Amino acid sequence: MRILVSRPALPALGMALLLMACGGSSTASVPTQSGDISYGVIAPFTGPAAQFGKLLSAPCYAATDLINAAGGPLGHKINCVPVDDTGDSADAVPNVTKAVATVSNFDLAIGLESNTAATTVPIVNSAKIPLVTTNGLTQFSKNNKLSYYWRLTPSDDANGAAFAKWAVQKGFKNAVVVFQSDIGSEGNLPGLQSALPKLGAKLALDPLTIPADAASYSSVVARVIAANPDVLIWSADPQTTATFLSEYSQLNNGKIPPMVTATDSLTPDFFGPVSKVVGTDYVTKDIYLVGSSFDQTTPAFDTYKNALLADSKTHDIAGPLSAVGPPASAYDGMNIAALAMIEAGSTVGSVYNSYFEKVVAPSSGAVVVSNYADGKKALAQGKKIQYVGVIGAVVFDSNHNSAGEFAANMFTADGSATRVGSMDGATILGLL
| Res 322: pLDDT | 67
How does the average pLDDT of the chain come out, rounded? Answer: 90
Strands (E), 299-398: 367-369, 385-387
Full residue range of the structural domain in which residue 194 is found: 157-294+405-429
**Opening angle at CA 95, ends 91 and 33, nearest 5:** 160
**Cross-sheet strand order for the sheet of 106-111:** 78-84, 37-43, 106-111, 131-133, 149-151
Count of domains forming the chain: 2
178 and 252 in a single domain? The answer is yes
> Do residues 232 and 201 share a domain?
yes
* pLDDT value of residue 18: 35
- Based on the fold, state whether residues 133 and 264 are members of the same structural domain: no
Do 120 and 58 fall into the same domain?
yes
Assign 154 a pLDDT band (cuts: 50, 70, 90): confident
Q: pLDDT-based confidence at 52, cuts 50/70/90?
A: confident
Q: What is the pLDDT of residue 28?
A: 56
Is the predicted pLDDT of residue 320 greater than 50, yes or no? yes
Across the range 99-127, mean pLDDT stands at: 95
Average pLDDT over residues 307-329: 82
User: What was the pLDDT predicted at 113?
Assistant: 84
Do you know the residue count of the chain? 432
Q: Is residue 316 located within the same domain as residue 287? A: no
Residue 287 falls inside a structural domain: yes
Q: Which pLDDT belongs to residue 4?
A: 33
Report the pLDDT value the prediction gives residue 170, as an integer from 0 to 100: 97
Whether residue 303 sits in one domain with residue 287: no
Q: What percent of the chain has pLDDT over 90?
A: 72
Asked if 145 and 210 sit in the same domain, the reply is no
Q: Are residues 164 and 274 in the same domain?
A: yes
The DSSP call for residue 356 is T
Q: In the chain, what percentage of residues exceed pLDDT 70?
A: 92
Q: CA-CA distance, 403 to 429, in Å (whole number)?
A: 9
CA distance 421 to 396: 25
Same domain, residue pair 240 and 181: yes
Q: Is residue 213 part of a domain?
A: yes
Q: What is the pLDDT of residue 189?
A: 92
Q: Where are the strands (E) in 331-401, listed by range?
A: 367-369, 385-387
Nearest to 164 by CA among 137, 215, 198, 136: 198
Q: Is residue 170 part of a domain?
A: yes
Spatial distance between the Cα atoms of 97 and 185, rounded to a whole number of angstroms: 25
Over residues 205-256, the pLDDT tens digits come to: 999 999 999 999 999 999 999 999 999 999 999 999 999 999 999 999 999 9
Q: What is residue 315's predicted lDDT score, i.e. its pLDDT?
A: 85
Which residues sit opposite 304 in a β-bridge?
none
What's the rounded Cα separation, in Å, for the pair 206 and 57?
Answer: 36
| Mean pLDDT on 78-101 | 96
Backbone angles phi, psi at 87, to 5 degrees: 80, 10
Please tell me the distance from the alpha carbon of residue 208 to that of residue 228, in angstroms, as a whole number.
15
Sorting pLDDT into bands at 50, 70 and 90, what band is 388?
A: very high
327: pLDDT confidence band, cut at 50, 70 and 90?
Answer: confident
Residue 324, in any domain of the structure: yes
Would you say residue 24 has pLDDT above 80?
no
pLDDT band at residue 294, thresholds of 50, 70 and 90? confident
pLDDT score at 12: 40
Residue 75 vs residue 419, higher pLDDT? 75
Compute the radius of gyration of the chain from its Cα atoms. 23
Q: What is the CATH number of the domain that holds 222?
A: 3.40.50.2300
- Contacts (Cβ under 8 Å, ≥6 apart) of 367: 378, 383, 384, 385, 386
Helices 51-69 and 299-310: angle between axes, nearest 10 degrees: 110
Residue 178 corresponds to which amino acid? V
Question: Higher-confidence residue: 432 or 386?
Answer: 386
Q: How many whole angstroms separate alpha carbon 320 and alpha carbon 317?
A: 6
Mean predicted confidence (pLDDT) in 76-80: 98
User: Looking at the domain assignment, is residue 231 inside a domain?
Assistant: yes
The burial of 138, by beta-carbon neighbours within 10 Å (0-12 exposed, 13-18 middle, 19 or more buried), is given as middle
Same domain? For 99 and 231 the reply is no
What is the reported pLDDT for 11? 39
Residue 17 lies in a domain: no
**Are 278 and 418 in the same domain?**
yes
- pLDDT value at residue 323: 64
Q: Is a pLDDT exceeding 90 seen at residue 62?
A: yes
Taking each continuous run of H as one helix and of E as one strand, the counts in the chain are 17, 17
Q: Is residue 224 part of a domain?
A: yes
Is-contact 206 193, C-beta < 8 A?
A: no
Q: pTM for the whole thing?
A: 0.80
Averaged pLDDT for residues 299-315: 93
Whether 7 maps to a domain, the answer reads no
Burial class (CB within 10 angstroms; exposed 0-12, middle 13-18, buried 19+) of 150: buried
Q: Are 133 and 110 in contact (CB under 8 A)?
A: yes
Which of the four pLDDT bands, split at 50, 70 and 90, describes residue 160?
very high
pLDDT of 1 reads 34
Minimal CA–CA distance to 28: which of 357, 358, 351?
351
Same structural domain, 136 and 67: yes
**How many beta carbons lie within 10 A of that of residue 300, not counting itself?**
23
For residues 186 and 114, the answer to whether their CB atoms sit within 8 Å is no
